[in-house]
Amino acid sequence: MARIALIGGDGIGPEVIGVAETVLAAAAAGHGLQVTLDRWDLSADRYLRSGVTITDAERERLTGEYDAALVGAFGDPRVPDNAHARDILLGLRFSADLYINFRPCRLLVPDLSPLRHPDPGTDIVFFRENTEGLYAGVGGSFKTGTGDEIATETSVNTRKGVERIVRAAFEHAARTGRGRVTLVDKSNVLRYEGGLWRRVFAEVGAEFPDIAREAVYVDAMAMDLVRRPQRYEVVVTSNLFGDILSDLGAQVTGGLGLAPSANLNPGTWALFEPVHGSAPDIAGRGTANPLAAVGCASLALSHLGLDEAAADVDECIAESIREGVTTPDLGGDSATGEVGEWMAARLSG
């Protein structure tokens, strides 16, 4: 029996995870699957109430007793230093060594793109390194608050860390028949990390002679993802560049409301979360698009080997868009929960 923990988090997180829960339950019922869905309260509310972000015992139970977790988003204006997000989200990525942040951006319907001439074949997968780089927390602040203040943030890149994400990208390309892997970096300025990434990219890439490889600077990539996103198939990059470019990739294929992501270390516990954040500007209104969270439910089902149920959920997402059963960001007038109910009715029947 599969066990999935549901963690709404903050802002629109609980709203969209509520829909993912409805959809997961319906897909499980439709396929006669036993899937246990447990809600967990890890959030800014809890942190502000109790001072606790996540305990060691909770982290152990979450990763030990569940196959996966589905997370909404963390971020609350009442926690300006984002302490709870760092402990819970980054903490789980790091402690479970979830080194792959897999972020697919596929244009399901050309009308969803803000571009003038979208290519219906646009289908990019980002392999964002997820445990190192500028997210490693190496640095410090000296003479803080004085006129002489110094702040440093060091980008950590290990041979092992770079090699495993680059390999994951090439293996994915080989497995899914994608012809090219693009490395994105800033090696014209960041010489040390750039040197390591480029050498490893060439070495690992040489093991995949049928897959073309190219390297693009991150500034040019930001431009090219708007100019001709259809050109890119598999993109591998560092933690921060991946964070930024996956929002851009999401927007050219329909917006943050549609983009799911998976935090993976193959063969182990995994964490699924929309690319978007807690969207405090629309929280509580019932207008949040739940499709990114539903896309996460599909990725979680695939991760559990429940591929038919995952395919049904994917088809249901595409159908809701074609039928116009969408939230205002996609031009519809359905509420968050209504999209979920519409999907559940299709999936359980």
Q: Which range of residues in 82-90, 114-122, 180-188, 252-260 is near ligand IPM by CB under 6 A?
A: 82-90
Cβ closest to ligand NAD, residue 128 vs residue 276:
276
d(CA 337, CA 170): 38
d(CA 12, CA 288): 6
Binding ligand IPM by CB under 6 A: which of 85, 236, 270, 310?
85
Our answer to whether residue 99 is catalytic in this structure is: no
Buried b (16+ CB within 10 A) or exposed e, 66-97: bbbbbbbbbbbeebeeeebbbbbbbebbbebe
Which entry of 45, 119, 186, 217 is annotated as an active-site residue?
A: 186
d(CA 15, CA 109): 25
Q: How many CB atoms lie within 10 A of CB 52?
A: 12
Give bridge partners of residue 266 from the DSSP assignment: none
d(CA 116, CA 119): 10
Q: Which range of residues in 83-91, 163-171, 175-183, 327-335 is near ligand IPM by CB under 6 A?
A: 83-91
Q: What binding mask, one character per residue, do residues 239-258 give for Mn ion by CB under 5 A, x or -?
A: ----x---------------
Instruction: Count the alpha carbons within 13 Å of 99 in the hemisphere toward its beta carbon.
Output: 19
Our answer to whether residue 247 is catalytic in this structure is: yes
Q: How many Å is the Cα radius of gyration of the chain?
A: 20
Residue whose C-beta lies closest to ligand IPM:
243
Residue 90 binding: pick among ligand IPM, ligand NAD, Mn ion, none (C-beta 5-8 Å cut-off by kind): ligand IPM
Decide: is 90 part of the binding site for ligand IPM (CB under 6 A).
Answer: yes
Our answer to whether residue 243 is catalytic in this structure is: yes
Our answer to whether residue 135 is catalytic in this structure is: yes
Cβ closest to ligand NAD, residue 190 vs residue 256:
256
Our answer to whether residue 186 is catalytic in this structure is: yes
- Which residues ranging from 266 to 285 are in contact with ligand IPM (CB under 6 A)? 275, 277
Say if CB 112 and CB 254 are below 8 A apart: yes
Catalytic residue IDs:
135, 186, 219, 243, 247
Residues that bind ligand IPM in the complex, under the rule CB under 6 A: 75, 85, 89-90, 243, 275, 277
Residues that bind Mn ion in the complex, under the rule CB under 5 A: 243
